[in-house]
């Protein structure tokens, strides 16, 4: 009899906890959706203001739930000094303009050795390395 009562109590707790978790997921989902929409809007506004160089530009944004930050990466291929070519990819917080990382190559090819390549305190030697370093910011 004690075993049946104990099993019934455990089953009740499991069902109750599962139901509570489902309610929190729905609420979290709505909050997350709102934060993602706000991030998309903030990133678009940030992108419009960003004028590091003129030329081909594009951006991606991501709301990082772990950091509670809206990140944006801006990629640009533009004219550099003395009619050279610049390849730029930069990671920012779209809300407070904090720059987290930058890849800058002033060669004709994007794979030339970069003049700058870092994410936080980590240095990098290529665009591929830069993109690997920004994954924890741009993915959850």
- pLDDT for 17-67, tens place per residue? 333 333 333 337 889 899 999 999 999 999 998 876 777 889 999 999 999
Q: Whole-angstrom Cα distance, residue 101 to residue 89?
A: 8
What's the pLDDT tens digit per position in 77-121? 887 666 678 889 999 999 999 999 999 998 766 667 899 999 999
Q: Where are the domains of the chain?
A: 33-138
Q: Whole-angstrom Cα distance, residue 25 to residue 132?
A: 30
% helix, strand, coil for the chain, step of 5: 45, 30, 25
Residue 105, classified by CB atoms within 10 Å of its CB into exposed (0-12), middle (13-18) or buried (19+), is buried
Q: Model-level pTM? A: 0.74
The two tokens of residue 123 are: 């240095």
**pLDDT at site 65:** 92
């Amino acid at each position: 009899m004690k075993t049946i009562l104990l099993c019934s109590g455990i089953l009740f707790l499991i069902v109750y906890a599962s139901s509570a978790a489902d309610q929190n997921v729905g609420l979290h989902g709505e909050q997350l959706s709102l934060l993602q929409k706000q991030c998309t809007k903030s990133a678009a506004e940030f992108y419009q203001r960003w004028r590091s160089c003129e030329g081909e530009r594009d951006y991606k944004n991501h709301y990082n739930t772990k950091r509670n930050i809206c990140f944006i990466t801006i990629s640009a291929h533009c004219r550099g000094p003395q009619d050279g070519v610049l390849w730029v990819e930069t990671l920012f917080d779209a809300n407070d303009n904090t720059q987290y990382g930058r890849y800058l190559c002033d060669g004709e090819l994007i794979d030339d050795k970069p003049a700058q390549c870092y994410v936080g305190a980590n240095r990098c030697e290529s665009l591929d390395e830069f993109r690997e370093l920004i994954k924890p910011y741009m993915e959850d």
